[in-house]
Amino acid sequence: MNRDTGPEIGFTNIHLAANDASELFVLAFGDKGKHVRTSIGRAELPLNVPFEVEVPVVLE
């Protein structure tokens, strides 16, 4: 999971902001929902959104 966040100036807990999405995947999919992730703060994101999440998925 890749999460980009467009935080307010001075917000440094970007990694904590991604925890909810990660926890949701584990709740929904159990052990198969466990994943690696990146969490990056950006000065701005397209369309002025506060965050975006990219999730590569493999279907079996």
pLDDT at 30: 93
Domain assignment present for 50: yes
User: Does the pLDDT value for residue 8 go beyond 90?
Assistant: no
Say how many domains are in the chain: 1
Q: What is the pLDDT of residues 14-52, one digit of tens each?
A: 888 788 888 998 999 999 889 888 989 888 899 988 889
Domain assignment present for 49: yes
Q: Is 52 exposed, middle or buried (0-12, 13-18, 19+ CB in 10 A)?
A: middle
Which residue segment(s) compose the domain that 26 sits in?
2-54
User: Does the pLDDT value for residue 58 go beyond 90?
Assistant: no
Domain assignment present for 59: no
Q: Are 13 and 51 in contact (CB under 8 A)?
A: no
Domain assignment present for 60: no
Q: For residue 49, which phi and psi values (nearest 5 degrees)?
A: -75, 150
Q: Is 25 exposed, middle or buried (0-12, 13-18, 19+ CB in 10 A)?
A: middle
pLDDT at 28: 94
Domain assignment present for 24: yes
